Structure 1
Amino acid sequence: MKKTIRVWDLPIRLFHWFLVFCIVGSLISVNLGGNAIAWHAYFGYSILTLLIFRIVWGFVGSRHARFITFFPNRAAILAYLQGRSPRFLGHNPIGALSVFALLFVLSVQVLTGLFVDDEIAFQGPLAKYVPNVVVSFLSEIHEGNQVVIYTLITIHIAAIWFYRKYKGEDLIKPMLSGDKEIDPSEEAKYLPSDLGQPSKDGGLQRALALIILSAIAVVVGYFITK
């Protein structure tokens, strides 16, 4: 009988899928142009709120949500690539690199978006506070950074397919259910500390996440409408 371990708490799962939804909505609306640019901005503000929440949750969230549990270093990356590291319940070192890269480029995108001014349909809420030369510079970064985002998303999807096809590991199901099923014959391949410390995902944990997210949403809403 397989052992079921809670890895991803509900706040992390909701963050992940809401982020996917907002990114898709953002990409569609920006390519539609015209009046859809307003929706592009709304999706951007939502992504900003979600990213701030994820950063905070990376310090106060459950075990596998905390950055300290999967922060990649050179030794861990090399050991994983050489097949010398144990299996990971949460992010492996390469997956961790992907997470931090996506958080970084998405943060760059939403922060520069606050200063964008196309002089036609949209002006970022902070554009009026900086010189035009700064607005132009940040607008160029905002536009060019899209290519980096497309690239990382493609790599992310390819990695999910690769692990499913060649390693027999479904990375999507645990992000839906929150749980990983470990065959008893495979337990020795994991760190005992991992198997013995499932992520907390109770009512108090979820209530804390809701309070944090709500506070962030209020602050972001205040600054973008000020």
Structure 2
Amino acid sequence: MLLEWPGGSWEATLRLVLTVVGIYLGALWLALVVWTYRDIRQRTRDPIAQTLSVLLVLLLFLPGHWIYLILRPRYTLAELYERSLEEEALLQELDAHKACPTCKRRVQDDFLICPSCRTQLKEPCRGCGRPLAYAWVACPYCGLDKPPRERPVAPRASAGAPRSGAAPSRRPAAAAHPRGNPANPGAPAAAPAAQPRRDPFASRPQQRPADEPPVIDATAE
């Protein structure tokens, strides 16, 4: 006795199986399209990349989904944001460990001098004694104003020292400092003797005009 096929005939059973498989593949196809759309939105904000990714899965189904998994961005936007926060925290931690400008060794933020090379790093506050940076104008802890830093003043040359490059004075010492009377030091210096004035016209020979004839002395004949 032959066993009967469940459902009446194998053709009806085959159609039932194909229907179930088709519904499953259709649901899987729509699920992959929706998943791709959500995934690409979490990885990029570019609308062109989002559209191409959805069309790739929508047209090629499973092969398109495999291609999308290969070409999609590696990290999501949330992961990139977390990585940026970690990098900022690491940079802040490195900045907290400052280095000496002379020997490049790490120093603490409250060090006044470098313990390795004795370089002055900060100056103490006159009020509370806490270390202050040189760029600050007041103490943030007690509110005391910092005194202005004194700049080194170059030594000036003495008044009696001659300047470099200046020509020596040619004035005679006697004229610059007239001597007084040795017998009476308190007496004023004697005035120099007056010299006789010369006639400015005595040394000049008299010139005759060119048109005047010479004068002949009659007594000479």
**TM-score for the superposition, normalised by structure 1:** 0.19
**TM-score for the superposition, normalised by structure 2:** 0.19
Computing the radius of gyration over CA atoms, which structure comes out larger, 1 or 2? 2
Pick 1 or 2: higher relative contact order, CA cutoff 8 A, min separation 6.
Answer: 1
